[in-house]
Structure 1
Amino acid sequence: MTGLFVLLGMVAKADNNPIVVGNSRFTFITENLVRMEYANHQKFLDDSTLFAVNRQAGNVDVKVEKKDGKYIFSTSMMSVEFENDGFPFGQNNVRVSFEMDGKRKSWCMTDEQRNNLGGAVTTLDAIGSPIPLQEGLLSRDGWYLINDTGKDVYKNGWLSVRDRDHVQDLYLFVYGNDYKSALRSLKAISGAVPMTRKYVHGSWYCRWWQYTADDYRDLVKGYHEHDFPLDIMVFDMDWHRKDGKIGTGHAFTRGWTGYSWNRKLIPDPGALIREFHDQQIYVTINEHPHDGIRPHEDVYREFTRALGIDADKDPVPIFDAGDRKYMDAFMRYAHQESDSMGVAFWWLDWQQDYAYPVVRGTTTKHLPWLNEIYYNYSKQGELRGTGFSRWGGWGDHRHPIQFSGDAVGNWNMLNFEVKLTTTSGNAGCFFWAHDIGGFYDGLDSELYTRWTQFGLLNSSLRIHSVVGDKMDRRPWLWGEREEKAMRRIYH
């Protein structure tokens, strides 16, 4: 086992890391992060997962002792006491101790978080009052455990099921009150938050509405006339045709998935996008990929040809994020026409886990996996990657920025979004694109102005709203006093 020191009953040297004892392996990623694996026949795992992208041992000074039949592995932050009884980790054979507030504290497998400081949430869709936060890494307990057991392996750029002999895969962060060291350890195992494109932190206009090309031009003209900057124009769902006759559908329609431009509304989308780009306004467009590319789409025959399918005889291929050939063809033919027109990035509006809980052939949910695929796709042409999708959990900090979903606009939700934005950093989620003012309701002009003030301190000034005559959040439509206040915010 090259590069490993295998303990066979002797005391190890202090400079060996990882450490293997029977079927157990301990890898100290940092001084306050230990990975604990149990694998039959020592079939340990070095490949990545969506959470753990760098499993290599760090340059950590680990002291190894054997005392009273137990092994003790110590760093400056923790001491791991392990009894090699031949069984997976449990409350009887492994215990970790550490110093906190001048006292000696301990951890075992059955301990629960009692003082977690909170993390992110996957979505605020239709939420109108505070909801429980997911757990974050930081806790007044002084430790946090991420259990990666059984998660699919990310190998050669694709998901594969983990070997069943790999029984346990635990990541224990032990940091006491040193929260910065905990976040550094998260970066060490799960990667850094990448640099974003500058313009995503600017002013966005987004509204679910059947806008024509001239309507979009009038919107941009209005921003200029009222002296409000605009960096991103979002084309919500009506940019594409909605004439699909088959498919799983969503919201009691089969029209949400679509990739063929609605040229009745936007006759020459390429010209419109170029016109905006000449004004330093970038265009992103909404998509719901759950129904894939269907026969009514302009590119269907090219798509099926790439898959080796007879468009006239074979069944329509359903969306399959677990099949590399399908997804390579899908990402190309669903997006290439619009990309060639100058679309800056795509808004992945995935809401269909109720119909498709996991990626076929895997144990992974669609959202984190699609976020990975779309973010990598966005880096074409040596661009910085740009994601725009709901939060997918541990490791999704590598795909900024995050869309918090279709929240209800009220004072309670504004207050909650402030809290959420703060605590999300505990999971590495630093860049939110909230629906400023709320997606639903939120017709109080002072509420909207205050939400805009919050947006200034957040990572983007992104307005968004549901279909409705009154649901338009252009800042000059809310009263003279409010317009003046919001202009100061935008500038």
Structure 2
Amino acid sequence: MVFNVIMKKKLLFLLCILQGVLSVSQAQNTQRNIAYTDANVRFSVISDGVLRLEYAPDGVFVDDASHLAVNRLYPQATYQLKTSGGWIEIATPKMKMRYKKNSGQFTDRNLVITAAKGASPFTWKPGIQQKGNLKGTYRTLDGMDGDTQSQTWVADTKQGEKLKLEDGLLATDGWTFIDDSKGLLFDNDPDWNWVKERPANGGQDWYFMTYGRDYKAALKDYTLFSGKVPLPPRYAFGYWWSRYWLYSDKEFRNLIDNFHTYQIPLDVLVVDMDWHYTEKGKGGWTGWTWNRDLFPNPKQFLGYLKDNKVKVTLNLHPADGVASYEENYSGLAADMGIDPQSKQTIPWINSDKKFMQKMFKHILTLMEKDGVTFGGWIGNKESMTRKLRT
């Protein structure tokens, strides 16, 4: 028995060393893969199936990570570059790109991408649209009866309208064009990487992917520049329970007991908005203070859930900000430069780095310390347009 434990520890140690060596090796084998650059254009080969195409009228190219593309270093790629004559030509095993030298921003007159010999045939120029997009997701399914909107209060769709899924990443066309020209960038702050706007210089920052019907290869290529997708924790794949109802601490405990009685596994409990006060003068649709009428001792309630191995998240509707009647208002207001005596509501601007730092300090992190498993189930009543503050 002791021998087995020692062997397991040695094996774990060796695996850790091997993982470290592999990580260093992978980091050393990544590079920017810039195939061609001049005063105004730059072309990078992310993989044999992905190109990055940049046009910068002022000659200033973007090296910072963006919301879309967090990686700027890629594995070594195979390509051929030709610059003779009046055209720049980059060929990979999957495609060939041609751009007319010194011809300005990318248009259908100076840029064309075609399939490589033996690959699924296609010809793409700027402006050509996909015909077989496999679609993606939608912001909310509120009010949907199947694929038809049954309610009148949902802003995204009118009653009787069919669900119109957004375009997704993949298409039967075998190629995907992505325009990141106006996407937000990150500021490289080592303490908390935050958003910043791109220079308004009329530049173009494009990605072109080709994959035929090899959709798995397309997803892998996408992660090379967009970043790997973290695996959610195991409990996230389990049974979630949520109901929009005025529950109390005692009623939730009875609910958990019933799950045990009927031997139904429960992984995540979503406590809807009545966890906080909702009556005028103490709360509303937005709230940050536990309703002591329903939850006399929130920490004990959260501890009970932990003892029963149930993760918990709270329904949040943050759009109305933090009002003066909230328990932690004074500290947050002071840190935001607002006189607490003024009772001025602190607006919710989640693009404001200072506000979000103080929001975590005074409210959100304290919730987690009390036992809330993860940050909150964000409701759909929030405005789709918010002021960007960087």
**Contact in 2 for aligned 1:143/1:172 (Cα 8 Å):** yes
Alignment of 1:198-347 (within 5 A): 198-245=234-281, 255-313=284-342, 315-347=344-376
Distance, in Å, in 2 between the alignment partners of 1:325 and 1:20 is 38
Seen in structure 2, the aligned counterparts of structure 1 residues 361 and 335 have a Cα distance that, compared at 3 Å, is closer
Distance, in Å, in 2 between the alignment partners of 1:352 and 1:154 is 27
Q: For residue 261 of structure 2, what is the amino acid of its counterpart?
A: E
Seen in structure 2, the aligned counterparts of structure 1 residues 20 and 350 have a Cα distance that, compared at 3 Å, is farther
Distance, in Å, in 1 between the alignment partners of 2:41 and 2:165 is 33
2:223 matched residue in structure 1? 187
* TM-score (norm. length: structure 1): 0.66
**Contact in 2 for aligned 1:286/1:346 (Cα 8 Å):** no
Distance, in Å, in 2 between the alignment partners of 1:59 and 1:201 is 35
Alignment of 1:12-161 (within 5 A): 17-99=34-116, 104-130=121-147, 131-155=163-187, 156=189, 157-161=193-197
Distance, in Å, in 1 between the alignment partners of 2:221 and 2:233 is 25
Distance, in Å, in 1 between the alignment partners of 2:175 and 2:389 is 34
1:360 partnered with 2:360: no
Distance, in Å, in 2 between the alignment partners of 1:350 and 1:172 is 35
Distance, in Å, in 2 between the alignment partners of 1:96 and 1:20 is 18
1:178 matched residue in structure 2? 214
Seen in structure 2, the aligned counterparts of structure 1 residues 97 and 20 have a Cα distance that, compared at 3 Å, is same
Alpha-carbon deviation of 1:35? Answer: 0.7
Distance, in Å, in 1 between the alignment partners of 2:51 and 2:64 is 17
**Contact in 2 for aligned 1:43/1:166 (Cα 8 Å):** no
Seen in structure 2, the aligned counterparts of structure 1 residues 195 and 105 have a Cα distance that, compared at 3 Å, is closer
Alpha-carbon deviation of 1:166? Answer: 5.4
**Contact in 1 for aligned 2:138/2:166 (Cα 8 Å):** yes
Distance, in Å, in 2 between the alignment partners of 1:257 and 1:306 is 21
Seen in structure 2, the aligned counterparts of structure 1 residues 23 and 257 have a Cα distance that, compared at 3 Å, is same
1:346 counterpart SS class: coil
Distance, in Å, in 1 between the alignment partners of 2:118 and 2:86 is 30
Distance, in Å, in 1 between the alignment partners of 2:236 and 2:139 is 20
Alpha-carbon deviation of 1:57? Answer: 4.5
Deviation string for 1:395-421 (max 9, x for gaps)?
Answer: xxxxxxxxxxxxxxxxxxxxxxxxxxx
Alpha-carbon deviation of 1:358? Answer: 3.1
Deviation string for 1:62-86 (max 9, x for gaps)?
Answer: 2111354111111111100110233
Distance, in Å, in 1 between the alignment partners of 2:319 and 2:326 is 14
Seen in structure 2, the aligned counterparts of structure 1 residues 244 and 359 have a Cα distance that, compared at 3 Å, is farther
Distance, in Å, in 2 between the alignment partners of 1:33 and 1:16 is 11
Deviation string for 1:169-190 (max 9, x for gaps)?
Answer: 1111011222222111111111
Distance, in Å, in 2 between the alignment partners of 1:214 and 1:178 is 53
**Contact in 2 for aligned 1:238/1:262 (Cα 8 Å):** yes
Alpha-carbon deviation of 1:338? Answer: 2.3
Distance, in Å, in 2 between the alignment partners of 1:16 and 1:193 is 23
Q: For residue 195 of structure 2, what is the amino acid of its counterpart?
A: L
| Greater RCO (Cα-Cα under 8 Å, separation 6 or more) | 1
Distance, in Å, in 1 between the alignment partners of 2:381 and 2:240 is 25
Alpha-carbon deviation of 1:291? Answer: 1.4
Distance, in Å, in 2 between the alignment partners of 1:255 and 1:74 is 59
How many residue pairs get aligned? The number is: 340
Deviation string for 1:16-52 (max 9, x for gaps)?
Answer: 6241133011111111111111112320001111111
Q: For residue 315 of structure 2, what is the amino acid of its counterpart?
A: N
Q: Kindly, what percent of the aligned residue pairs are identical?
A: 30
Alpha-carbon deviation of 1:205? Answer: 1.6
Seen in structure 2, the aligned counterparts of structure 1 residues 107 and 207 have a Cα distance that, compared at 3 Å, is same
Runs of 4+ in 1 over 3 A off after TM superposition: 99-104, 243-246
Seen in structure 2, the aligned counterparts of structure 1 residues 100 and 346 have a Cα distance that, compared at 3 Å, is farther
2:220 counterpart SS class: helix
Distance, in Å, in 2 between the alignment partners of 1:333 and 1:102 is 56
Alignment of 1:322-471 (within 5 A): 322-352=351-381, 355=383, 357-361=385-389
1:35 counterpart SS class: strand
Q: For residue 210 of structure 1, what is the amino acid of its counterpart?
A: L
Distance, in Å, in 2 between the alignment partners of 1:103 and 1:255 is 56
Q: For residue 135 of structure 1, what is the amino acid of its counterpart?
A: D
